[in-house]
Structure 1
Amino acid sequence: MTVTVTGRPAGPVRAAIEVLGRDENGLVTTARAHIAATEPVFAGHYPHFAIFPGVCVLDCVHRAATEGEGAPAPADLAAVASARFSGAVLPGDTLDITLRWRRTEHGLRCDATTATRRGKSATVRLNYRIPGGTS
């Protein structure tokens, strides 16, 4: 299964998110985003050495989780529990995204990693509420 989510996203990143698939249990999702050198966020962040901002990596992870059947159930972001950025994402990179889901008493937890061809770029933990749930 490959689902490409297109259109102008509401967040800071214009890249399309491609949800590549989920495992048979629906608890591991893989996705990717091609980070074009023309992304508006590169303008001025940092002159002569553009780096994709960490908040934009978070945006890509969240979009992979909520668009194109990335989550095992419809979910709304409740919290960014943690984020650790360990490598730069540069213009022209492909950002590979892996989401690992588990149910909690309050909804869903997503443990995500992102990587480029140079290696891991971030580790993120997001908490989601299931609409209509009790949390």
Structure 2
Amino acid sequence: MPAASPLRAPVEVLPAESELSTAARFTVDADETVLPGHYPGFPIFPGVCLVECAHQGALATVPGGAKGAGLAAVESTRFTGPVFPGDQVDIAMAWKRIPTGQWQCRAKLSTARGPAATVRLRYGAATEGESA
């Protein structure tokens, strides 16, 4: 069974600079289901949804030898600016192999106003019950 996502729209993968430097974007539609309850009257796209944007972008761009990898850990998150309905979130991802043999993705998310978040995710072999 595929994992559930709080995102209504898909994350769009962009042409990659290289296998280790990838990019994606997500446009926050005013109809996103998470917005009505997150600061009613002044909707802000929740941070957990930014993490999900980074995760979906990462799954779609994980380096070739790791296709089918699953999320092993959310290593860190830092939210640095608000994201509002109508914003385009640009996601720049840098990949590196870590000593455990897993892959680490460092994602920087931004809008036209500037930085929105940094997210560090770790990926390993998918395990039973985990969706890649």
Q: TM-score range by the shorter chain?
A: 0.7 to 0.9
Aligned partner of residue 105 in structure 1, secondary structure: coil
Structure 1: tracts of 5 or more residues without a match:
1-8
Q: 1:23: Cα distance to partner?
A: 2.0
Partner of 2:13: 19
Structure 2: tracts of 5 or more residues without a match:
128-132
In the alignment, the residues of structure 1 paired with residue 26 and residue 5 of structure 2 have an alpha-carbon distance, to the nearest angstrom, of 14
Supply the AA of the counterpart residue of 1:71: V
Q: 1:62: Cα distance to partner?
A: 0.1
In the alignment, the residues of structure 2 paired with residue 84 and residue 121 of structure 1 have an alpha-carbon distance, to the nearest angstrom, of 8
Corresponding residue pairs, total:
122
Query: Is the aligned partner of 1:48 residue 2:66?
Result: no
Aligned partner of residue 43 in structure 1, secondary structure: coil
In 2, are the aligned partners of 1:108 and 1:130 still within 8 Å (CA)? no
Partner of 1:34: 27
Higher relative contact order (CA 8 A, sep 6+): 2
Structure 1 segment 88-127 matched on structure 2, within 5 A? 88-106=82-100, 107-127=102-122
Q: Where does structure 1 differ by over 4 angstroms across 4 or more consecutive aligned residues?
A: none
Instruction: Give CA-to-partner distance per residue, 1:6-26, whole Å, 9 cap, x none.
Output: xxx7210112111102223x0
What do you get for the CA RMSD once the two structures are aligned? Answer: 1.7
Aligned equivalent of 1:80, options 56, 74, 85:
74
In the alignment, the residues of structure 2 paired with residue 27 and residue 109 of structure 1 have an alpha-carbon distance, to the nearest angstrom, of 10
In 2, are the aligned partners of 1:12 and 1:56 still within 8 Å (CA)? yes
Supply the AA of the counterpart residue of 2:22: T
TM-score relative to the length of structure 2: 0.87
